Structure formats: C-alpha cells, structure tokens
C-alpha cells in the first residue's frame, strides 16, 4: 500500500539554527502513527512542514503521493481540504458558539448552504459526544469538552488524515482516555489516518500502531510498539520504562 505521507531527508531551520536534520519517515494509510521525543526536539515543527505551513530548507514531502514543494496554490488548497489539524495550543474562538466554531472550516472552504453546514456540524458534535454543546460558548465548557470540540472542528471536512498535536495535554487520565477512545473510533469507523504527537505512554500503549521518535533533529526509531520495546536503543528503553521523552 502506498504511504499517505512520505518525508525524506527533511532539513528545517529557524533563522540559522537547524531543528530538523535529515528526518525521513512514512505514515501508511489507516494507521495511527505517534510521534514522540523530548520537548523542543521538533515534533510540532515536523507537523507544520507536513501540512505545508513551513517551507523546508531541503528535503522532500509527499502527501497522498503528491510532491508538496513547488505545488501550485490550487492543488495545495485541494490537498489541504483532505487534512484535519488539531493544533497543540489551538483554541476555539470564545466569541462564537461551539456550533459556529465547528462550522468555520465548512464556511471557509465550501459553498454549502448554512442549513446543510449546521446539519454536518451536529453530526460531528454527535460523533465526539458533544450533542448538548452546540449553543454553548467555549468558556462554558470543561477542558475535556473543549478538546472534543476542537476535535470536531478538525474532522468537520471529513479529512483523510488527522493531525493531533498533544490533544491530551493538561487533561487528567480519565479525560485523556476519552480522547483516545474518540481517536480510535475515527480510525476504525471512518478509516482515518491519524498522526498524533504525544508524550503520554499510556496513550501510546492504547492506540499507537507505530511510533516515530525524534532525537537531535533526526528519527531515532520508527516502528511498532513491540519493535520499540526490544529495539535496544537506550533512549527508547528509557522512554518506555519511565516515560521520559
Ligand atoms: N517560530 C519559531 N521561531 C523560532 N524558533 C522556534 C519556533 N518554533 C519552534 N522553535 C524552536 O524549534 C525547536 C523545536 O520546536 P517545536 O515546537 O517543533 O518542538 P516540540 O518537539 O513540538 O516541543 P514540545 O514537546 O515542547 O511541544 C525548539 O527549540 C523551539 O524553541
Ligand atoms: Mg510541540
């Protein structure tokens, strides 16, 4: 099966400092790939490259088999419609209701009539078990509800690939479990490919099909949980023993 995402020898800089230094990895269709690594190692940067927010110093990225560098805007826009993103600090707009927040991508990227848009929004809110929150404003939601609303917004366009950057950060274990359960549902019921940045070992054990660990700007390991645990790589063993990313 052709990979959904192929990153090849990716170098990335902020100013003159290299953050990614030759990252090569692939994400297959319908898998849940988790990306782990210490704080500041470049996980968010990598995601932003894959969704085309940053231009690399060098290297190649293919999304759905299409070369992203040099792609014209129309093709790039069409490609991005098939991608959903839940950013690390991605906030909902407090001045809009949950329903309006979730509707935003549809209003921006489609010309569907409002009645249909809000029908789709209700379906997505149902999927993340937030039916009752349609008319609430973000400050009226609990932390876990806010994350689920952000998840609903990320999937409202029915993306083939969903990127989630630390979706459980700041949530207690029960609420993290809920988010994991929803991600598994999206993966299994809707065949969504998921790229998940996380440092939560429990979460990884629950839902990861494969793991990629970044270290010093490179991929230290990419493979299944079983392969990770017997990789013989010290940093990997430390991570799985103590949860030290
Ligand atoms: N916009 C930016 N301008 C300059 N430097 C940046 C910028 N964004 C990130 N960096 C730097 O690049 C490095 C990688 O950052 P990145 O956010 O990708 O790390 P991360 O692995 O996602 O970390 P965390 O686990 O804390 O979220 C860090 O040293 C960070 O300070
Ligand atoms: Mg980050």
CA nearest ligand 1 atom 9, residue: 45
Nearest ligand by distance to the CA of 45: 1
Taking a 5 Å cut-off on Cβ, the residues next to ion ligand 2 are 43-44, 88
Q: Report CA(45)–ligand 1 centroid distance (Å).
A: 6
CA nearest ligand 1 atom 8, residue: 45
Q: What pLDDT shows up at residue 243?
A: 61
Nearest ligand by distance to the CA of 36: 1
Nearest ligand by distance to the CA of 42: 1
3-state secondary structure the chain: CCCCEEEEEEEEEECCEEEEEEEEEEECCCCEEEEECCCCCCHHHHHHHHCCCCCCCEEEEEECCEECCCCCHHHHHHHHCCEEEECCCCCCCCCCCHHHHHHHHHHHHCCCCHHHHHHHHHHHHHHCCCHHHCCCCHHHCCHHHHHHHHHHHHCCCCCCEEEEECCCCCCCHHHHHHHHHHHHHHHHHCCCEEEEECCCHHHHHHHCCEEEEEECCEEEEEECHHHHHCCCCHHHHHHHHHCCC
With a threshold of 0.75, does the pTM exceed it? yes
Domains in the chain: ranges and CATH:
1-82+200-245 (3.40.50.300)
Q: What pLDDT shows up at residue 26?
A: 97
Q: Establish whether residue 39 lines the binding site of ligand 1, counting it when its CB lies within 6 angstroms of any ligand atom.
A: yes
Q: Check residues 69 and 183 and name the one with the higher pLDDT.
A: 183
Q: Report CA(48)–ligand 1 centroid distance (Å).
A: 11
Q: Which atom of ligand 1 is nearest to the CA of 47?
A: 18
CA nearest ligand 1 atom 30, residue: 40
Q: Report CA(41)–ligand 1 centroid distance (Å).
A: 7
Tens-place pLDDT, residues 111-156: 999 999 999 999 999 999 999 999 999 999 998 999 999 999 999 9
Q: Establish whether residue 14 lines the binding site of ligand 1, counting it when its CB lies within 6 angstroms of any ligand atom.
A: yes
Among 28-32, 61-65, 72-76, 194-198, the range scoring the smallest mean pLDDT is: 72-76
The pLDDT-based confidence of 245 (bands split at 50, 70, 90) is: low
Q: What pLDDT shows up at residue 46?
A: 97
């Amino acid at each position: 099966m052709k990979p959904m995402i192929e990153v090849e020898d990716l170098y990335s800089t902020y100013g003159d400092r290299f953050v990614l230094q030759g990252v090569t990895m692939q994400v297959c269709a319908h898998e849940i790939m988790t990306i782990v690594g210490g704080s500041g190692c470049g996980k968010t940067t990598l995601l932003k490259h894959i969704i085309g927010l940053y231009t690399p110093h060098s290297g190649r990225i293919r999304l759905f088999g299409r070369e992203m560098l040099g792609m014209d805007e129309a093709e790039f826009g069409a490609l991005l419609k098939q991608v959903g993103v839940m950013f690390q600090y991605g906030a909902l707009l407090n001045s809009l209701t949950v329903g309006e927040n979730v509707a935003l991508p549809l209003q921006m990227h489609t010309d569907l009539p409002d009645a249909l848009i809000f029908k789709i929004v209700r379906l997505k809110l149902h999927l993340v078990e937030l039916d009752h929150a349609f008319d609430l404003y973000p400050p009226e939601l609990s932390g876990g509800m806010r994350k689920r609303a952000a998840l609903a917004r990320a999937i409202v366009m029915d993306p083939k690939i969903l990127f989630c950057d630390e979706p459980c950060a700041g949530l207690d274990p029960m609420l993290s479990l809920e988010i994991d359960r929803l991600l598994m549902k999206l993966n299994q019921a809707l065949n969504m490919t998921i790229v998940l940045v996380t440092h939560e070992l429990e979460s990884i054990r629950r839902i990861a099909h494969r793991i990629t660990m970044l270290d010093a700007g490179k991929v230290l390991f990419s493979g299944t949980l079983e392969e990770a645990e017997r990789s013989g790589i010290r940093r990997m063993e430390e991570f799985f023993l103590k949860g030290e990313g």
